[in-house]
Amino acid sequence: MGSETNERVLMGPGPSDVHPNVLRAMAKPLLGHLDPAFLTVMNETMSLLRQVYQTKNELTLAMSGTGSAGMETVFVNLVEPGDKVVICVNGLFGQRMVDVASRCGATVIEVEAPWGEVIDIDKVKATLQLHTDVSLVAVVHAETSTGVLQPLEQLSEIVHDYGALFVCDMVTSLGGVPTLIDERKIDAAYSGTQKCLSAPPGLAPVTFSEQAVQKMARRKSKVQSWYLDLSMIQNYWGDERSYHHTAPITMVYALHESLRLIIEEGVESVFWRHRMFGEALHNGLEEMGLQLLVHKDHRLPQLTSVRIPEGVDDANVRKQLLTKYGIEIGGGLGELKGKVWRIGLMGFNAKQRNVTLFLAALQEVLVAEGWKGKS
Ligand SMILES: *Cc1c(COP(=O)(O)O)cnc(C)c1O
């Protein structure tokens, strides 16, 4: 550890590089998890989270665990065995939601779209017409396995027209693109610290609307997970402050500082910065003669999938980028394995230096691979 050869720029689908101020915050001595000084940090963290999530939701806190723990929190608390749920699947994380929801005993109805495309809202509407009493509809806002940004406004309207709750995976959205929880009437969302928040993996910020809170209050059965049961977690983050499990103190420091940095820069400026450098990367890749997976209208700025040119060795290119330039990018997942590279410009990493560095390094590696470029 610590040698020069381990210097990295983390431009994959997460984890992304941690902001130096966040690393410094993590070096602070521990406070006890019930120390009044730590409770102040928790209160501030909840308030900062509401600002970055763009919501007034009272129930907004950070679960212990990575983004997947956030996903599991939403489903174990909102789903009871036998509930009918609709899950939109256009990538790996949609598939994971199906797995998690079915483990909760839900009857899952899938609405699919090809990987790299958005979910067709008419298909969701037709599904809700066909199946009455659907309790919840879930979609991935920023599909990190493909680089698709799902439009939410109309989908939210349709879901509420049919009396269901609207759930969004915002693991890669939070701190990268607007989440607008209240404006878009999103009933539950979850995220993670390791994508656009520029903190290490370890906490999963979640937020729930009043309607979602009521659904939990009406539960007939106990939440099947003791660790993720919000009725108990709330008593620790809320006024009661009763012990449930020991909070990952250092990670709360990290999240607090990462959110504070976003608020200091301004959420709109942060979104603008992601858009600006995301587009610069998209343009640079296209100018090199490479093809992006996702249509221009639906591209995420913080995660870009580019098609691997024919005759180029996927694994070797990634290896060269890592060993020669210290740049980590991601390979394709699932049906995109071997077909795309995934490049992240998340949080602290969304800056010109990384765009230029990556484009130059990729060009050199591809030429060394025998790639002829634009034909
Ligand atoms: C990364 C990611 C997850 C899972 O988060 P982990 O931190 O790996 O548990 C879930 N959904 C999306 C969209 C993600 O990008």
How far does residue 363's CA lie from ligand 1's centre (Å)?
29
Residue nearest to atom 6 of ligand 1 (CA): 67
> How far apart, in whole angstroms, are the C-alpha atoms of residue 49 and residue 175?
10
Q: Are strands 148-149 and 142-143 parallel, antiparallel or unpaired?
A: antiparallel
> How far apart, in whole angstroms, are the C-alpha atoms of residue 301 and residue 308?
19
- 345 phi and psi angles, rounded to 5 deg: -130, 80
To the question of pTM greater than 0.85 for the whole model, the response is: yes
How far does residue 67's CA lie from ligand 1's centre (Å)?
5
Query: Which pLDDT score is estimated for 165?
Result: 98
How far does residue 368's CA lie from ligand 1's centre (Å)?
33
Q: In the sheet where 134-140 sits, what is the strand order?
A: 59-64, 203-208, 188-190, 165-169, 134-140, 84-89, 107-112
- Would you give the DSSP letter of residue 4? G
**What tens digit of pLDDT does each residue of 150-167 get?**
999 999 999 999 999 999
Angle, helices 121-130 vs 153-161, to 10°: value is 10
Ligand 1 pocket (Cβ < 6 Å) reads: 14, 66-68, 71, 93, 140, 142, 144, 169, 171-172, 192, 194-195, 201
Query: Which pLDDT score is estimated for 4?
Result: 53
The closest of 138, 83, 92 to 115, measured between CA atoms, is: 92
The full set of domains in the chain, from first to last, is 7-15+267-368 (3.90.1150.10), 20-263 (3.40.640.10)
How far does residue 225's CA lie from ligand 1's centre (Å)?
20
Torsion of CA 224, 229, 231, 232, to 10 degrees: 120
Ranges of the chain with pLDDT below 50? 1-2
Which ranges in 81-162 belong to alpha helices (H)? 92-103, 121-130, 153-161
Query: Which pLDDT score is estimated for 6?
Result: 76
User: How far, rounded to the nearest angstrom, does the alpha carbon of residue 176 sit from its chain's CA centroid?
Assistant: 9
Question: Which residues, 6+ apart, have CB-to-CB distance to 283 below 8 Å?
Answer: none
The closest of 25, 66, 29 to 44, measured between CA atoms, is: 25
**What tens digit of pLDDT does each residue of 344-367 get?**
999 999 999 999 999 999 999 999
